[in-house]
């Protein structure tokens, strides 16, 4: 007899292991990331939600594409809460960019509960979703696969419609019987998914957000508890998904003995964290679907993810959107979250950038870079702590001596507030970045020596050209009533015209002004030349810029 031994490479944790550990509230190397890619995978393939959700081949392709793009630790096979309803005879209306909606409820259209049968593994679209599960399982053994089942209360609403809210008073026993049937469907569906290879069964019961904890305890708890018990007995993990205003039910949900609760943005994450920790279970959520993931920018998505991770801490938490990702969610927004999940350094940068700096804090740096010296600013997280930052600082350090004192460099560590203000004022979004005289030149890339020298030289040339264009000068004749003054003025005029330069001549006779030049009236006539340079026009220069100008005068 040979014993099968799984050999694991040292230190490599698979997504599946990470999800499992988080479910058991054990320490993980980083937060597990489970993007709920549903019909959005259809968008990734350029097909409609309807085409996507009706084809096992497209589901496999779409989910595979999402795995490549978003590098998740876990992913659902199909996010469609109408699969069971359809198999049970509910009428569906299909949409381009949404999962289908139930529009016809069999129990108000002549069908009785006794007529309903638990669907087998082939009925409706169940077979194709299970086929997709098996293919994905084979292709991605290291990812936690989520099988999604419609929770008993939501399924009951699909079957009966809103009449259920009347029957909860009128016919309690009937509602009980219906929920018991729905529970049996849930148990069967979870078994199908587990047998096809799912690691996690997510029971999604959004309609429970419509009732209070008393009704939940009466109409949901007994059935949900049995479903989770059945999942546990098959050694799979369970998650209870809810969306909407369901804060009132989190405590009673946690008592249903699920391993995890997943919520959306309608419930504060810290509330769920505290409730779940009290019950010794894990939780997940609650990235904002519409306002951030769909309509925001990648940086907004990252900020939102960081906010979730900061509230949740290290253990017992799964980073996930609140619900099915919208069909048209921009790939870049989800990929931006993947980046900070996988890269601790990028996360720190985004976290720093996320610190709110108000517009009032922003410096006006238009005057920056008008000093004689060339200023090279390096925006870093901290060159002592982060390798790319260190290489960038070293690169600049090596090059500056070649310019023999014309180039000055400075590092701005954005862990300090003033550096962060400086960074945002220069419109820098990535770290590390090199700015030359306040202009962004190299972003997240360490330039080779020659390239950096060329960039600095280019700026020196540009500055020199500008300097020549802007040069202005005056000649003052300090005069306290002497007959030589006229001759001096004549000579100056001749010199100016012979040289063809743009210089004013000004005669000063006021005794006090003459003295302000350090000349006594007895020493007149005297000639003073002054050179001007326009540093700022029509605006208020910042102190940081003025300091650079003043240094040139020393």
Partner 1 sequence: MKTIDVYILTGFVGAGKTTALNHLLRNEPLTAANPALIINEFGKIGVDGSLVARQDLKRYDINKGSIFCICTKTDFLKALTEIAESGCHQSLLIEATGIAETVDIESFLDAPKLKEIYQIKANLCLVDAANFTRVAAYLKPAKTQVQYADALIVNKCDLVSDAERDTLGQILESLNPTAPRVQTTYGKINTDFLAGIRHNIHDNKTLAQPPEDIIAVSISTEKPFDRDVFYQTLDDLKDNLLRLKGNINFGDGVRFVELAGTTISETEPSKELTKQNATPTAFTAIAWKIDRETLNNSFFDCVS
What residues make contact with partner 1 under the rule CB under 8 A? 81, 93, 95, 98-99, 101-105, 154, 157-158, 161-162, 165-166, 168-174, 177, 206-207, 209-212, 214-215, 218, 243-245, 248, 264-266, 289-291, 294-295, 322-324, 326
Compute the least distance from the CB of residue 206 to partner 1, in Å: 6
Give the Cα separation of 190 and 476 in Å (integer): 95
Q: List all residues 6 or more positions away from 291 whose beta carbon is below 8 Å from its beta carbon.
A: none
State in angstroms the smallest separation of the CB of 185 from partner 1. Answer: 17
Structure tokens at 275: 């409730």
Phi and psi for 37 in degrees, rounded to 5?
-85, 115
Q: Which one, 37 or 102, has the nearer CB to partner 1?
A: 102
- 132 versus 263: smaller Cβ distance to partner 1: 263
Beta carbon nearer to partner 1, 163 or 195: 163
**How many other CB atoms are found less than 10 A from the CB of residue 326?**
19
Q: Which is nearer to partner 1, 224 or 389 (CB)?
A: 224
Question: Minimum distance between the CB of residue 240 and partner 1, rounded to whole angstroms?
Answer: 16
Reply yes or no: is the peptide bond before residue 159 cis, omega within 30 of 0.
no
Nearer to partner 1, 172 or 534 (CB): 172
CB 305 within 8 A of CB 341: yes
For partner 1, the closer of residues 125 and 412 by Cβ is 125
The DSSP output letter for 93 is E
**Residue 138 or 177: which CB sits closer to partner 1?**
177
Q: What is the longest distance spanned by two Cα atoms in the chain?
A: 125
- As measured in angstroms, the least distance from the Cβ of 95 to partner 1 is 6
Shortest CB 99 distance to partner 1, Å: 8
How far apart are alpha carbons 281 and 259 in whole angstroms? 5
Q: Shortest Cβ distance from residue 350 to partner 1 (Å)?
A: 22
Say how many residues make up the chain.
554
Shortest distance in whole angstroms from residue 377 CB to partner 1: 33
Residue 227 near residue 186, CB atoms below 8 Å: yes
Strands 74-76 and 144-150 come out as parallel
In the complex, the smallest distance separating the C-beta of residue 249 from partner 1, rounded to whole angstroms, is: 10
Considering the complex, what minimum distance in angstroms separates the CB of residue 231 from partner 1?
A: 23
Cα separation, 347 vs 30, whole angstroms: 11
Supply the minimum distance, in Å, between the C-beta of residue 292 and partner 1. Answer: 12
Of 83 and 508, which CB lies nearer to partner 1 in the complex structure?
A: 83
d(Cα 354, Cα 337) in Å, to the nearest integer? 14
For residue 417 the two structure tokens come to: 């507030």
152: its two tokens: 């008993």
Is the CB of 77 or the CB of 436 nearer to partner 1? 77
Q: Are 84 and 151 in contact (CB under 8 A)?
A: no
Distances (CA, A) of 101 to 9, 113, 130, 243: 46, 21, 21, 17
Q: Based on CB atoms, which residue is closest to partner 1, 64 or 208?
A: 208
Residue 263 CB coordination number (10 Å): 28
The answer to whether residues 505 and 456 touch, using CB atoms and an 8 Å cutoff, is: no
Helix (H) or strand (E) run with residue 20 in it: helix 15-23
DSSP designation for 443 = E
Cα dist from 106 to 68, 86, 173, 220, 528, whole Å: 40, 10, 19, 21, 101
Closer CB to partner 1, 17 or 265, in the complex: 265
Cα–Cα distance measured from residue 123 to residue 350, given in angstroms and rounded to the nearest whole number:
47
Find the shortest distance in angstroms from Cβ 421 to partner 1.
Answer: 25
Question: Of the two residues 219 and 228, which places its CB atom closer to partner 1 in the complex?
Answer: 219
Instruction: Give every CB contact of residue 324 below 8 A, 6+ residues apart in sequence.
Output: 36, 38, 39, 40, 79, 99
Q: How far is the CB of 151 from partner 1 (least distance, A)?
A: 11
């Amino acid at each position: 007899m040979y014993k099968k031994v799984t050999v694991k490479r040292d230190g490599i944790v698979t997504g599946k292991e990470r999800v499992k550990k988080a479910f058991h509230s054990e320490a993980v190397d980083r937060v597990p990331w489970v993007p709920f890619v549903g019909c959005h995978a259809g968008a990734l393939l350029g097909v409609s939600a309807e085409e996507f959700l009706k084809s096992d081949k497209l589901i496999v392709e779409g989910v595979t594409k999402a795995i490549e793009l978003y590098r998740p630790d876990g992913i659902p096979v199909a996010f469609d809460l109408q699969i069971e309803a359809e198999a049970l005879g509910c009428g569906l209306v299909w949409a381009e960019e949404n999962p289908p909606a139930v529009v016809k409820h069999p129990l108000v259209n002549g069908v009785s509960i006794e007529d309903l049968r638990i669907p087998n593994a082939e009925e409706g679209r169940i077979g194709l979703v299970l086929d997709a599960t098996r293919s994905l399982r084979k292709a991605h053994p290291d990812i936690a696969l989520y099988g999604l089942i419609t929770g008993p209360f939501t399924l009951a609403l699909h079957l009966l419609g809103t009449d259920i809210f009347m029957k909860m008073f009128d016919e309690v026993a009937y509602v009980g019987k219906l929920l018991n049937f729905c529970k049996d469907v849930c148990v069967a569906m979870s078994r199908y998914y587990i047998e096809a290879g799912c690691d996690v069964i997510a029971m999604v019961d959004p309609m429970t957000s419509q009732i209070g904890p008393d009704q939940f305890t009466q109409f949901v708890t007994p059935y949900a508890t049995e479903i989770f018990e059945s999942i546990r007995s098959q050694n799979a993990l369970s998650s209870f998904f809810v969306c909407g205003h369901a804060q009132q039910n989190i405590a009673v949900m946690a008592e249903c003995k699920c391993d995890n609760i997943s919520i959306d943005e309608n419930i504060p994450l810290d509330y769920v964290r505290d409730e779940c920790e009290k019950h010794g279970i894990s939780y997940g959520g609650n990235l904002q679907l519409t306002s951030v993931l769909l309509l925001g920018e990648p940086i907004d998505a990252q900020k939102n993810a960081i906010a979730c991770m900061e509230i949740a801490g290290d253990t017992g938490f799964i980073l996930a959107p609140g619900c099915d990702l919208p069909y048209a969610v921009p790939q870049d927004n989800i990929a931006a979250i993947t980046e900070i999940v996988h890269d601790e350094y990028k996360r720190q940068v985004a976290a720093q950038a996320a610190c709110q700096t108000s517009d009032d804090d922003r410096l006006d740096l238009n005057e920056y870079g008008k000093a004689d010296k060339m200023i090279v600013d390096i925006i870093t997280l901290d060159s002592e702590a982060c390798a790319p930052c260190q290489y960038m600082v070293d690169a600049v350090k090596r090059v500056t001596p070649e310019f023999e004192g014309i180039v000055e460099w400075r590092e701005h560590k954005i862990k300090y507030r003033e550096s962060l203000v400086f960074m945002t004022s220069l419109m820098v979004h990535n770290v590390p970045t090199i700015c030359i005289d306040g202009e962004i030149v190299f972003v997240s890339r360490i330039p080779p020596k020659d390239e950096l020298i060329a960039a600095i030289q280019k700026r020196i040339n540009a500055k020199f050209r500008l300097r020549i264009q802007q040069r202005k000068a005056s000649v003052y004749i300090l005069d306290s009533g002497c007959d030589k003054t006229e001759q001096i003025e004549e000579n100056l005029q001749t010199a100016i015209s012979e040289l063809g330069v743009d210089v004013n001549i000004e005669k000063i006779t006021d005794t006090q002004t003459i003295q302000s030049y350090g000349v006594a009236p007895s020493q007149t006539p005297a000639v003073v030349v002054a050179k001007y340079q326009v540093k700022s026009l029509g605006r208020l220069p910042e102190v940081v810029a003025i300091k650079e100008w003043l240094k040139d005068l020393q």
